Structure 1
Amino acid sequence: MGRNRSMQQYMKEHLSFYLFVGVIFVTGVVFGAVMVNALSMDQKQEITRYLGNFFSSVEQGALGGDVQGSFRDSFSMHIKWILIIWVLGVSVVGLPLILILDFLKGVLIGFTIGYLAGTMSWKGLLFALVAVVPQNLIAIPVLLVCSVTAMAFTVHLVKNRFLQKRGTLYEPFMRFSATVLASAVLLAGVAMLEAQVSPVMMKWVTPMLVLGSAS
C-alpha cells in the first residue's frame, strides 16, 4: 500500500518531466527520419557502400566473434551517456544539455531506422527491428528515467539552494545516484544483449539484404 502511494506521488511530481522529455525524444526521432531526405546522392551512396561492407562482414561471421570486446565497447558507450547525464544533473546549468542529449539520441535512432527503411524497404525495416530496436526497448526508457531524475534533482538544487536556501540535498542526491547506478546495471544487460544476441539475429536476416542489394 505504501509502495503504491509512493509510486503515485512519484508520478504526480515527475509526470510533466516525463511528458516533456518524451516529446523532446520523439521530436528527435522525427527529425532524424526527415534528415534522410536531406542527404545528397553522394552521401547516400557512401552510406550504402558502408552498409554493404557491414552486411558482408556480418554474413561472413566477422561480427560477434569477440563477445567480450563487443560487450566492453557497447557498455562503455552506454555508461558514458548516463555518466554525462549524471554530471549535468549535479550542475546547475546542465538541464538544457540533458534535453539536447535526449534529442540527439532520438535523431540517431530516427535516422538509422529511417535510412534503412527508406533505402531497403521492408528488408531494411526488418534489419532495424533485429539490430536497433531490441536493445533500445530497454536503453531508451533507462535514458529517459535518468534524464528525468537528473532534471528533478537540478530543479530541487536550484529551488532549495539558490531560491529558498533550505532543505538538504543528501536524500535527493542519493536517490539520483542510485537511479544512475541501477541504470548502469540494466545497461550492462543491454550491452550483453548487443554482444551475444544481436549478432546472431543480424546474421539471420543479413542474407536477405545481401541478395536484395545484389538483385
Structure 2
Amino acid sequence: MKSHLALYMFVSVLFLIGVVFGAVMVNALSLDQKQELARHLNYFFQNVDDGTMLGEPQADSFRQTLGLHVKWMALIWLLGLSVVGLPLVFVLDFLKGVLVGFTVGYLTGQFAWKGMLFALVSVAPQNLVIIPVILIASVAATGFSLHLIKSRFQHRRGALAQSFWQYTGTSVFLTIVLSAAALYEGFLSPYVMKWVAPMLLV
C-alpha cells in the first residue's frame, strides 16, 4: 500500500470523477429517454414484486454474475501485461465510476429517497466489495506494467518472472474475493429488492 499510495490515490480519484460524470449524465438525458428508462424500470420492479426473479434459478444468476466479474478481472490482468494496454485500465476504472454514478443518480433523481433506498440495497452492498477489488487490481496492473518498463532497461528476467507470478496470484485472489459479491447478487439481492420494489411501482 505504501509503495503504491500515489497509484491508489490516482485510480480512486479517476473512479470518483467517473461517478460524478455518470451522475451529471442523468441530467443530460432527454425527456423521451427518461420516460423510456422509467418504463423499463417499472417493468423490472413489477417482475421483482411479482416474484418472477425469485422463480429464476439463483445458481444460474450467480454463475452469470461471477462470469461477468471474471471477464472484467481477466481484461484488467491482460491489459496489465503490456504497457500499451495500461491506459485502458484507467478507462475501465472511469467507466465503472460512470456506471455506478449514473445508476445511483438516476434512481435518486427519479424516485427521491425511495430510489436511494433501492440503490442502497441493490447497488451498494456488492459494490462495497467490487469497487475496492477493481481499484486494487488496477493498481496491481499498473505496478506490473511499470515493472515491465524498468526490467527492459535493467535486464532482470528473474525479477520480472517473480513479479509476474505475484501479479497473477493477486489477480486470482481478487477474483475469488469477487465471488462474495456474486453470491450476494445471485442469492440475496433478489429477496432484498423484493422488499423495496413495491415502494417504487408507478
Pick the TM interval, shorter chain.
over 0.9
| Separation of aligned partners in 1, 2:176 and 2:9 | 25
Aligned positions of 1:189-208 closer than 5 A: 189-208=180-199
Is 1:175 matched with 2:166? Answer: yes
SS in 1 for 2:4: helix
Structure 2-normalised TM-score? 0.97
CA deviation after TM superposition for structure 1 residue 188, in Å: 1.3
2:75 maps to what in 1?
84
Is 1:30 matched with 2:6? Answer: no
Alignment gaps of 5+ in structure 2: none
1:41 maps to what in 2?
31
| Separation of aligned partners in 2, 1:180 and 1:171 | 14
Q: How many residues align?
A: 200
2:53 maps to what in 1?
63
Structure 1-normalised TM-score? 0.91
Pick aligned residue for 2:151 from 156, 160, 165: 160
Deviates more, 1:51-60 or 1:90-99: 90-99
CA deviation after TM superposition for structure 1 residue 156, in Å: 0.4
1:122 maps to what in 2?
113
CA deviation after TM superposition for structure 1 residue 94, in Å: 1.2
| Separation of aligned partners in 2, 1:66 and 1:42 | 34
Amino acid at match of 1:193: Y
Runs of 4+ in 1 over 2 A off after TM superposition: 163-168
Alignment gaps of 5+ in structure 1: 1-10
CA deviation after TM superposition for structure 1 residue 164, in Å: 2.8
Identity across matched positions, percent: 54
SS in 2 for 1:12: coil
Pick aligned residue for 2:11 from 21, 32, 36: 21
Give a deviation string over 1:154-183, Cα, whole Å, max 9, x none: 00001112x333352111111111111111
Pick aligned residue for 2:44 from 48, 54, 63: 54
